[in-house]
Amino acid sequence: MKKRWIFKAAKVVVLVALAATVLSFVVMRLWNWLVPGLFGLRQIGFWQALGLLLLSKILFGGLRGPRGQMHWRGRMMQRWEKMTPEEREKFREGMRGRCGPFGSRTVEPKV
């Protein structure tokens, strides 16, 4: 059982390293193709492209993992399960006021 876990962990590490390498080369090639001609900046190397990729992930993607959305969904489902039918209907009404029909299969006609 432990060998299976170690194999899966090693596989994930290799895949992440491979993805980072490929993305870094893509960023480097795009930068070196576009930016010097457009803005007159210098070309960058592999490690600079990797740093740029990580910096953009931190600035624009945050530091949460890929399961950030699923964690939010799980918490919302737990809250939903704890609601009474009256609280659920009140929530639906509030969402209808903001987002349109919510939780119903048919669209209500507007008056």
Q: How many other C-beta atoms lie within 10 A of the C-beta of residue 48?
A: 15
* Pair 19, 59 in one domain: yes
Which is higher by pLDDT, 61 or 59? 59
Hey, is 11 helix, strand or coil?
Answer: helix
* Pair 27, 8 in one domain: yes
Measured CA distances, 13 to 27, 44, 109 (Å): 21, 26, 53
State mean pLDDT over 51-80. 79
* Pair 39, 80 in one domain: no
Per the structure, the complete domain to which residue 88 belongs is given by: 69-99
Distance of alpha carbon 45 from alpha carbon 77, whole angstroms: 46
Residue 92 lies in a domain: yes
What are the tens digits of pLDDT across the range 98-110?
A: 776 655 555 555 5
pLDDT at res. 27:
94
Per the structure, the count of domains in the chain is: 2
* Pair 51, 81 in one domain: no
* Pair 10, 50 in one domain: yes
* Pair 44, 87 in one domain: no
pTM score, whole prediction? 0.54
Distance of alpha carbon 104 from alpha carbon 111, whole angstroms: 18
Rounded to 5°, the CA angle 29-33-35 comes to 110
* Pair 8, 42 in one domain: yes
Query: Please, which pLDDT band fits residue 12 given cuts at 50, 70 and 90?
Result: very high
